[in-house]
Every structure is written in C-alpha cells, then in structure tokens.
Amino acid sequence: MSNNKNSTLSVSQSLLSILARNWALLFVLVLILIFSFTGINFFSSKNFQNILHLSTIYLLLASSETFVIITGGIDLSVGFVMGLSSVLSATIMRELHAANFTPALSISIGSIVGLIVCIIPGLINGVLVTKYRVPPFISTLGMGGIASGITLVMCEGFPVTFLPPYLTAIGNGYLIYILPGKAISFFNRPEGIVGEELRKLIRIIPNSLMFNFVILFILWHILKNTKFGQHTYAIGGSMDAAVRAGINTNKHLIIIYVLSSFLAGLAGVFNVFQTGIGNFTPFTAMYELIAIAAVVIGGASLMGGKGRIFGSVIGVILLRTIENGLHLSGVDPFFRFIAVGLILIVAVVIDQLFPDLF
Amino acid sequence: MEYLLEVKNLTKRFGGLVAVNNMSMGVKEGEVVGLLGDNGAGKSTLIKMVSGVYRPDGGQIFFMGKEVIIDSPIKAISIAIETLYQDLALAENLNVYSNIFLGREKLKKVLKFINVLDNSYMHDEAKKVLDRLEIEIPSLRNRIRTLSGGQRQAVAISRSIYWNAKLLIMDEPTAALGVTEQKKVLALIRLLRSQGIGIIVISHQLYDVFSVADRLVIMRRGEKVAERNIKETNTDEVVSLIVGAEKVTQRSD
Amino acid sequence: MGNITTRKNGLQKFFLQLGYRWAIIFLFLEIILFSIISPGFFSFNGIQVILINSPFILLLSLAETFVIITGGIDLSVGFVMGFTSVVSAKLIAAFVGLGMNDLLSIIVGIVITLVIGIIPGFVNGILIARLKVPPFIATFSMIGITHGISELLIKGTYAKGLPALAGRIGNGSLINIVPGKTVSFFISPTIQRGDQLIEILPTVFVIPFIFILIFAFILKSTKFGQHTYAIGGNVDAAIRAGIDVKTHIIKIYMLSSFFATVAGIMYVFRYVTGKADAGAMFLLEGIIAVIIGGASLYGGIGSVWKTLIGCFIILVMENGLRMLGVPTFYKLIVVGIILIFAVLIDQLSPELIHKEE
C-alpha cells in the first residue's frame, strides 16, 4: 500500500526534479520558439552558428568559474586575465611580425606565451587563497586590478593592432564551405569566389564551435569522470571532510585557480583570433559577473559543491539567446540587461524552492 | 517540595518513529538533574519540547505549578526557561556586555531625542551579574572571540541569569572544554543551584554529571528507564542502565 | 586577552599596534611621500582636488560598509548610482521645462529621486532576506535591471537640459569668498574676470561627509548599529536574541541604495548630466576601500572611520600619481596590491583582532 503510494510520489517527484534541474534548457527552447516568430532570421542555422560563435569567450569564462564555484570560491579576475592575455599575445604577435617572422611563427609564439603568462595570476590567486587564507573574493579582485593595470600599461589604453594576417581567417573560419553545385572545401574558402557567389556560399560548423566542443568535452570529462573532478566536488561540499579524506586541498585549489586563469587566457587568445586585434578589458566590462551569472543559472550554488559544465553551457546559451533574440526582434537592446537580471533572480529562487532537486 | 518544571506523559513522534514516549520527570528549584542516555535515546527531543523547538504530540508541561504551552523558543524564554546549546549563540565580534544585552539593549537619550546605547550602564550591570556568579573575565570590553570556551560558557550563563532564568537547560556544557575550564563550569553550576535555579544538564561525561547532579534521569529508546538519587547509585549501575545491559526494576517515587 | 598581552614585550606590542593601525600609518606615509616627490600635492589646491573627486567612493563605500558588516555584499550600488543620476537629471530637467524655478526643480527632483532610489535596495532586501537569494546574485541581478532601465530612460546617451545652477552647486564650496565682494555658501558665485575666488571645502565633499558623520554615529552608538554587527557576527545568536533579522537586512540594503542615490545626485551636480554607467567605476573602489579599512567579507567587522581611511588611501594614491604624471593605469596595480596586502596583514596576525572593541 504505502509502497505503491511512495513509488507514484517518487515518479512525479523525479519528473519535477528533472524539470527543475533542466529548467534553463527548457527556457532556452521556449525562447527559441518565441524568437522564431518574433525575430527576423532568428531561426536559421546561420544565426545559431553565430550565437555559438560569439559565445566562445563566455563559454570559456563560465567553465573556468564552474570549477572555482564548485569548490566554493569565486574568481573575479577572469575578465581582466582575458584582457591581459589578449593584449599580451597580440603585442608579441605584432612585434614578431614587425621583425619579419612568418605569420605562423608569430601567431604561435604569441598565443603560447599569452597562455603561459596567464597561468601566473591563477597561481598567485591559488597561493593566496590556500596558504594565506585570503578570501577568494578579495585575492581575485585584487588580482583583477593588477592584471587590468598591467594590461593597460602594456597597451596604453588602446587596442593592439597591426597583427599578422590569417588571424581572423582562422578565428572566424568554418570547417566546411559549400558553393552549391560548384565547389566544396574545408577550412578555407574555395578559391576565386567573389560578389554574388560569395553571398551564396554556405558555411557550416564554425572553427570556434569545434574548438568549444573539444575544450568543453575535456572539461566535462574531468569534472564528471575523474578523481580530480570528484575531489573538486568534495572540497566544495565539505572542506573538512575533504581534508580528513586525505585530499591535498591546498594543491587542489591552486590547480583550480590556475585552471581558471588558464581558461581565461585561452579566451583572451581566442579573442585575438576572433577580432584580429588585442583587446584590453575595460574596468566596467563585467565579463566575470556575466560568467558567474551563467554558472548560477546552470544550477551551481555559490556555497559550493554543486554545478555542472553542461549547466553552465546552457546558462551561457540562455543569456546569449536572449541578447540575440531580442536584438533580432527589434527590441531595444537595453531590455536585455533587465531580462538577464530577472532571469538570474528566477534561477536562484527556483534553486531555493527546490533545494533537494539538484 | 513542589517541582519547578514537571513534564507528564510527554510523547513526540516523527512519522513512524516514536522519539519520546510517555515521559515524565521533574526539576525542583535549586536542584540539578542529570539527563542521561545513549545517542538517540530521546534526550534532545525531550529538551527541545521544553524549550519550545518542538511541539509535543501528547502530554503536559507544568512550570511553577501551572500548565504551560510552549510553542516557540521565544515563549520558553519569556516564562524564564533558558536553554544553552553547545554553540552558545554568542556574537563573537561583540564584547561581553553587548552579548549579555543583545536584543534587549539599554538605551539612553542624548539631546533629548536620540537613542544611543547606554554602554556604561550595560557594562556595570553585566559586571554585577558576573560578580554574583563569581566569574572572572579580564575586561567586559573584550570581544567574545578573545575568550576561552569556559569563559564563553560563563557569559552565556550570565546572560540567562541576568534575564532572570528560573530553569536552565544545558546541553553538554563541558564537552568542548579543557579540564580546568570544566571544573570552573561545574563550580558555576553548583553556585547557580545554591541561588535557587533549577538546572537540567545533558552530558555524556558521567563524572561531570556525578559531581554536580542531585538526581539522575536515564532514558533509553525514548522512554525513562530509571531515576536515581545521586547518593544511591554509582557509575557502573548508571552505565548499565544507559546501555540496557542489566534488567532494572523501575522505581516508584 | 589581557594577561597574554601583558606578557608581550615592548617590541611585539609595537608591531601589534603597527599591524593594527597599518592603514592609518600607510595613509600618512603616502601623504608624506607624495608631498615630497610631487610639489603641488600638499597644497590648498591639491587637497581641494582630492576632496572634489571623493564623493562617489565615499558614498558607495559607506553603503558597502553597512552591507559588508552584515556579511553581505551589494554589487548594485554602482548602477543604482547611475540609475539615480539619470532619474534625478531627467526629473530636474523636466521640472525646469515645465517652467518651475531652478532651485525648486532641483529640490523637488532630489526628493523624488531619493524615494525612487531606495526601491532597488528594497527589492534586494526582500530577495535576500525573504527569498534567501545570495546577496551576490540578488544585487548582481539588480545591476542588469537598473542599468537597463536607465539606458532606456536616456536611450543610450546621457541626460541633458539641466539648469546651470546644478553645476554651480557641483563646483561650489561650503564657503565661497570673492574677497571684497561676496560670500556664499554651498553654491558657487558668478564671478567676473580677474576676481579672485577662495573656496573652502567642496560642496560635493561636505554633503557626503555629513552622511558619514551621522552614520558613523549610528553604526557605533545605536541599537541599529549594534544589531548590524550582531547579525554579521552570528545570525543565529541575533535571531535567538529576538532581533528581527529579516527586517534589519531589508533596511540595510535600502540604506545601501540610499547612499548610492545620494552619490547619483552628487554626480549630477558635479558633471551636470546623468549617465547609466556613472558609477560603474566606483563599485569596486568602494568595496576595496571597505576591505582596506579592515572589514571582513565574512561579516561582523568594520567601521565607518576605517572605511574612510581606506577611501583616502585610494584617493591620495590616485591624485598623487596623476599629479606626478603617471598614467592612471598604474593606480589599478597599486590598489590591487594594497588590497591583497591589507587582507594578508589580517591573516598573518590573527591576534590583531584580539583587542578590545
């Protein structure tokens, strides 16, 4: 008797649980449905590719925050570290290019140095947070200021230009180009296409999409299937328990902050490929806050112990879809700020109302 | 002598589990009762019914001879039943007298219309109650954070006493303390007893209980299995009562 | 604890004091350093410039002081400041457009703005206290909402049409003297070419400073302040002591929004316009000033006076570097380092907090 009752209850409960757990995904689908009616050219593979392509840096920053937030920390420096890596790698590329290095070599060296240097802020954050017990909020806030200052000193407040060629061709390129009935090519546009034919050229799978897919798959795998991921959750769930279980929490947290900085650096380097210039991060850009918002919408808790890469990806896509959809629907762009604020509140209130469902 | 607090046939169920079953006991003024039992014996549940955290499913509570319904912790405090949990509920960043007066601050007027904290009054009043309880704390302006565990315990007790607690319920008062500190807290309990306050002490540390309690109430699986005058029992008997290793005939009062 | 402190020798005591008072010592060293290396720094004008630039960081850090002591954070103050700068500018311009007297327009505009300005704080408070939304998220959401609304109000540009009187208040001082001619208070007088103008204490500094005086007193000496500390120190203890914690938290966030609103109004006076992102720069500076002042993000610790020291460490740094001709970018680096340094000092010497209140 009571068993029966329990099982029906648990079915409806688990249904509710699935709904609540994936409300963000459902919301994205609903948004897509709505914008398909209201938005001009919203529902097209071109536009969806565009949304994902322009989400790249947010996806990287959000996944870096995902790791940090699961441990119960926060990283407010990612936006500025991204700017640092963007400006640094662009500057190196420009100088090498000016010194007559080949574009391939200039770009490679610039990217690699940018990535390596961006590990340093994360390393310092990690050491401050673990060894000196500086709250993550403060150490990363301070590090953000320092990174931002160094970036601006380096670029003197202007974007870094005169970079080697091919950057944007790679960053904004596609895997497959098809000119219907005539040509198909991979990575590069078919030769000799101009004018009318260029408009007809079908582009499939942006390079950024593959790049995103590979990076996110690796991060998802690490978090979901490895010991490292397990320990990340353990530390966020209960630091004491993790210490007593013999996890080297200090080392683990340092790696987490280094990873976070590294992903921010990756976002910065990608930004160079995407825009063809080195962009500093203005003090008012709030990249890190948007990334954190995406992670929270994705079901993570700022208290730690909870969060998923997939959730964060959905969070980013949700925010970007709103932006893109409202834009294509001709809504005043400033409504999107309001929409983001409201959705974030909804996300957390849902989390509060169904705390056990996640 | 009449009981200060008396509970009759208290019962509390959580779903199918009977946490406390038909439990009766009492505390007199100036008496220390040790409430003993293994984990899960129902001590905490019983205490939480008296301090207003849980509502009983059955039975009655009498306080100072009258039946009372204690439906919230605030209600318990308002009728002078104070409960000290292990976490003590002190604001560590505030000083001693501020904690004693927390939520009931004494105010004075400056310029006839601005209410400000009357710090010197609160300091002096706090000093008086600490003196009465023979508690030594270097300065009442010290923040709680700077005090030892025993001193914190003493501050929490002083707060209850200052606000005229008649019954004090103490959950593991000596658990987190060093040996010297434990002795001080036990001495304080004896002093409170001599000043006519009824005390219920929950503790796992039998020696502590034996050194302060007048009477012991032993619970097992939600029921009272025995009640002993401290002079008529010994630790061996109590241990076996707690774990239920020996058949014991219930005493009738 | 007294008996431990007395066992310490003089040197240890000295370092203890040094550690505890490092912020004020640092500020003095900073002032002395800049006075030596930058000739115009320690002058009447130099100080005046620092004070003129001070109102936004002072008010936003005042807001954060109260919020941070309760263990929360308010990320929305910067954009509430922008929002209210837009609202008050639009209102004042509208009243002037209706043919109302300039001064009356400004006064009525300010009063209405102050009422509107506490709404974001009220919503934050409800979300945090009643719906248990973490302060970080609730106030971040409020950034989006206030930013969006203010941009919509001004269609992505900035508010215009303010009367010249607003600018005269913004450029005015507590006492303005044109020797031999006039003396005025708060509002800058109209002067002829060749007139000398002596200005004492900028209006945009005096107004925030009055709030600082009042609220330093409230935090230190009233029941409201005491409960603010208690909530930050131990919420459970506060609840069990019968404090209405939820209502208190709502009040705290309303207060925070109120200070941001005053900052928005100061912005209108100072720059004779309203901008959606007017306060975006000052949010982090405000939080940093509070932390440099020794507050803990875990709540329970901090004071208005210490925050004031934190503000002036940043302001002196900023103006000193600017007068030396150093690009302002360096300021970010220095402030970042000071911030981390501030917390390191607290962490490395936990005994420092073992002092009497």
pLDDT at B205 over 50: yes
pLDDT of residue A165: 82
Distance from chain centroid for Cα C345: 24
CB contact under 8 A, B117 and C230: no
Judge whether B23 lies within some domain.
Answer: yes
pLDDT of residue C354: 45
**What's the CA dihedral at B53, B57, B60, B66 to 10 degrees?**
50
pLDDT of residue C45: 84
Which of B98, B116, B146 comes nearest C1 by C-beta?
B146
CB contact under 8 A, B102 and C233: no
pLDDT at A125 over 70: yes
Helix or strand or coil: residue A245? coil
CB contact under 8 A, C237 and B90: yes
Between the ranges A159-173, A294-308, C252-266, where is the mean pLDDT highest? C252-266
Give the lowest-confidence range in A78-82, A192-196, A206-210, C39-43. A192-196
pLDDT of residue A349: 81
How many C-beta atoms lie closer than 10 Å to residue C332's C-beta? 23
Residue B66 pairs in a beta bridge with B63
Judge whether B190 lies within some domain.
Answer: yes
What average pLDDT does this structure show over B145-173? Answer: 89
pLDDT of residue B183: 87
Question: What are the DSSP calls for C24-70, one per residue?
Answer: HHHHHHHHHHHHHHSTTTSSHHHHHHHHHT-HHHHHHHHHHHHHHHT
Give the lowest-confidence range in A131-135, A151-155, A202-206, B131-135. A202-206
pLDDT level of residue A8 (50, 70, 90 thresholds): low
> Which alpha helices (DSSP H) does chain A contain, by range?
2-21, 23-38, 45-70, 78-98, 103-117, 119-130, 136-155, 167-171, 195-200, 207-225, 227-237, 239-244, 249-275, 287-297, 309-328, 335-353
pLDDT of residue B89: 81
What average pLDDT does this structure show over A312-319? Answer: 92
CA A36-A41-A44 angle, 5° bins: 80
pLDDT of residue C253: 98
Q: What is the CATH number of domain C37-352?
A: 1.10.3470
What is the rounded CA–CA span in Å between residue A69 and residue A25?
20
What is the rounded CA–CA span in Å between residue A98 and residue A111?
16
Mean pLDDT of chain A: 87
Q: Does B98 touch chain C (CB under 8 A)?
A: yes
Residue with more model confidence, C182 or A352: C182
pLDDT of residue C18: 66
What average pLDDT does this structure show over A272-293? Answer: 88
Q: Which residues in chain C are contacts of A142 at CB distance < 8 A?
A: 288, 335-337, 339-340
What average pLDDT does this structure show over A274-278? Answer: 91
Minimal C-alpha gap between C180 and chain A (Å): 47
Which of C144, C149, C340 comes nearest A134 by C-beta?
C340
pLDDT of residue B182: 86
pLDDT at A358 over 70: no
CB contact under 8 A, C333 and A145: yes
Domains in chain A, start-ordered, CATH in brackets?
24-163+207-352 (1.10.3470)
CB contact under 8 A, B102 and C241: yes
pLDDT of residue C81: 97
The single-letter DSSP state of residue C202 is E
pLDDT of residue C304: 96
Judge whether B124 lies within some domain.
Answer: no
pLDDT digits (tens, 9 = 90+) for A47-103: 888 888 889 999 999 999 999 999 999 999 999 999 999 999 999 999 999 998 888
Residue with more model confidence, C270 or A18: C270
Judge whether B147 lies within some domain.
Answer: no
What total number of domains does chain B contain? 1
Q: Which residues in chain C are contacts of B88 at CB distance < 8 A?
A: 237
pLDDT at B249 over 90: no
Q: Name the closest residue on chain A to residue C327, using Cα atoms.
A: A153
Q: Does B243 touch chain C (CB under 8 A)?
A: no
Tell me the pTM: 0.86
| Residue-number span of the structural domain to which B71 is assigned | 3-89+165-243
Best of C76, C288, C329 to substitute, by most chain A Cβ atoms within 10 angstroms, is C329
pLDDT of residue B176: 76
Radius of gyration of chain C (CA): 22
Q: Which of B143, B138, B136, B139 is nearest to B95 (CA)?
A: B143
Minimal C-alpha gap between A338 and chain C (Å): 4
Judge whether B128 lies within some domain.
Answer: no
Q: Name the closest residue on chain A to residue C276, using Cα atoms.
A: A334
Judge whether B42 lies within some domain.
Answer: yes
Which of C330, C335, C340 comes nearest A139 by C-beta?
C340
What is the rounded CA–CA span in Å between residue A298 and residue C97?
48
Minimal C-alpha gap between A78 and chain C (Å): 15
Interface of C with B (CB under 8 A): 1-3, 221-223, 226-227, 229-230, 232-234, 236-238, 240-243, 300-301, 353-357
Radius of gyration of chain B (CA): 19
Radius of gyration of chain A (CA): 22
pLDDT level of residue A356 (50, 70, 90 thresholds): low
pLDDT of residue A3: 47
State which residues of chain C have pLDDT below 50. 1-7, 352-357
Q: Which residues in chain C are contacts of B98 at CB distance < 8 A?
A: 226, 230, 357
Which of B73, B88, B103 comes nearest C243 by C-beta?
B103
In chain A, the N- to C-terminal Cα span, in Å, equals 29
Q: Report whether C89 contacts C274 (CB < 8 A).
A: yes
CB contact under 8 A, C148 and A336: yes
CATH code: domain of residue B61: 3.40.50.300
Q: Which of B47, B102, B88 is nearest to B177 (CA)?
A: B88
pLDDT of residue C41: 82
pLDDT of residue C16: 66
Helix or strand or coil: residue B101? coil
Secondary structure of B128-147 in HEC code, one letter for each residue: HHHHHCCCCCCCCCEEHHHC
Best of B85, B146, B171 to substitute, by most chain C Cβ atoms within 10 angstroms, is B146
Judge whether B105 lies within some domain.
Answer: no
- Complex ipTM tops 0.90: no
Q: Which residues in chain C are contacts of B95 at CB distance < 8 A?
A: 356-357
CB contact under 8 A, C1 and B90: no
Q: Is A8 exposed, middle or buried (0-12, 13-18, 19+ CB in 10 A)?
A: exposed
Which of A134, A153, A335 comes nearest C343 by C-beta?
A134
pLDDT of residue C6: 44
Of all residues in chain A, what percent carry a pLDDT higher than 70? 94
Tokens of A17: 């649980």
Which of B92, B114, B141 comes nearest C356 by C-beta?
B141
